[in-house]
Each structure stands twice: as C-alpha cells, then as structure tokens.
Amino acid sequence: MIMLWMSPLPVAFAQEVDHIYLKSGSVIRGNILEIEPQDHVKIEDLCGNIWYYPLTEVQKITSEPYRSPRSLAKEQQEFDKGFVNMTSIGFLAGSSDNSKVAPFSLVMVNGYRNSTGIFTGAGIGIEFLSTNYMPLFVDLRYDLLGSDVVPYLVVRGGYAVPLTSDRSEYDIDYTYEGGPLLAAGAGLKIKTRSHFAWDIALMYRYQKTGYHESYQWNSQQYDYTDVYNRIEIRAGFYID
C-alpha cells in the first residue's frame, strides 16, 4: 500500500499570465490575442473565453506570475516544518501462545519536523502488557516522496516504566520492573486538510519487562523476564 503512493505528485509552479486591469476594477487573466493601438484589446481568458475591450475601458496591461486558487490550496496541504503532535492507538500483535495476544497501546509524540522531512521528537503513552506500563522514548522519522500523501521511515528507542505498584498476595510480594524498547518500521501520512493528517504505521517492536517474586514464609525469591517480539500496528492523527 505504501509503495502505491511513492510516485511524486505534480508541483504547481507560478506561470507568466497576461493581465488586463479594467477601470471598473475587474481583472482579466489569460493570453492576449490582439492589441489594436488607440482602439481595442482582445484576450482569451483562462477558461477559454475570448473577450474584447475598448482601450478607453482599460487601466493597464501587464504580464505577471499567477497561481490558480486550486494550486494554492494544494500547496497549503503540504507538510511544513515546525512543531508536530501525533497521537495514535495500536496493537502489538504476537503469538497466540502468549497470554497477551495483542496488547493495547496509546501513545502521543511531540517534536519538530525540519524542511528536509526529518522529524525528531519524544513520546509517552500507556500500554497494557503483563501489567500497565508507560513507554518513554525518542522518535525519529524521515519523510520520503510526496506532498500531501507521504510515506516515511520511523525508528523508536526508549524505556517502559511500570505503572503498577508493588503488591502482596497470599504471602507473596510482587515487584515490577521496566525494560528497554525498540521499534522500527514504515508509515504513511495522508493530509486531508490544512494542519491535519491521518497517520498509519507498521513496525517491528522489541520490548523487555520483568517482575520479582518474594515468598514471605520461606524467603525464596524468583526473578521473571518477559520479552516481546511483536508486529506493532498503529493508526492515529498528525497535527502540524
């Protein structure tokens, strides 16, 4: 799906267009076909219509750069440099043998995108793994081809902090530990209006967590480690 949008979209450049400024305040844009000194001017407008005006009604005639309202609106939909907020939900799809087949994830990323398409930001969220965790990470992205529909590459790295407090149950003390996270993949941004776009991504995700058990009645202690190797599927919105 991403490769279907890889071809660059046409770019609208300003072109030199003849302008006739009338004394009434109207402006006719197009291609001048004929000028008869001291008499009239004939012009074909941008819609293909041909107009005839006596020179006594003309204030001035010029040739100027012109961009259509449609091309200007298209330009406004491009992704600009500046502050960016991205919020998305996702699932960490994995093995059916695991008690958490597809843990839910909610993440928000804030950062800065420069004019070359490189984005650097920081993210925070909540994920429901073996228990609740708060991922804290650095988010790096690079935009590929396109203007309002842009595929990109993304890399994340950070640490997941446990949100569940230490607890005791049946004379057993449980202590939860965080662990490193790493994700890499590709995504697609689809801009539907100024300063807003939909954002989808598919990534590989590595996540390590753990917990510690301490038995009060015999002082036995055990350490457990959970390692997640998952496909991360995300969808959300992009605001710049």
Give, in order, the Cα–Cα distances in Å from 74 to each of 16, 23, 60, 238.
19, 32, 31, 18
Kindly report the length of the chain. Answer: 240
For residues 65 and 14, the answer to whether their CB atoms sit within 8 Å is yes
Place of tokens 């073996």: 130
Query: 79-239, what's its fold?
Result: Porin (2.40.160)
Domain ranges in the chain are 15-76, 79-239
Which pLDDT tens digits describe the chain residue by residue (240 residues)? Answer: 444 333 344 444 457 888 889 988 888 888 888 888 888 899 888 888 898 899 888 899 888 887 666 655 555 567 888 999 999 999 988 765 555 667 889 999 999 999 899 999 999 999 988 788 999 999 999 999 878 899 999 999 999 999 887 777 787 888 888 899 999 999 999 998 888 999 999 999 999 998 888 887 777 888 888 888 999 999 999 998
pLDDT at position 6, please?
38
Stated as kind and residue range, the H or E segment containing 74 is helix 69-76
Q: Is 190 exposed, middle or buried (0-12, 13-18, 19+ CB in 10 A)?
A: middle
DSSP state of 24: T
Adjacency order of strands within the sheet including 50-54: 50-54, 40-45, 27-36, 15-22, 58-66
pTM above 0.85, yes or no: no
CATH placement of domain 15-76: 2.30.30.100
Query: How many angstroms separate the CA atoms of 215 and 229, rounded?
Result: 30
pLDDT at position 95, please?
64
pLDDT at position 198, please?
95
Residue (of 240, 208, 211) closest to 223 by Cα position: 211
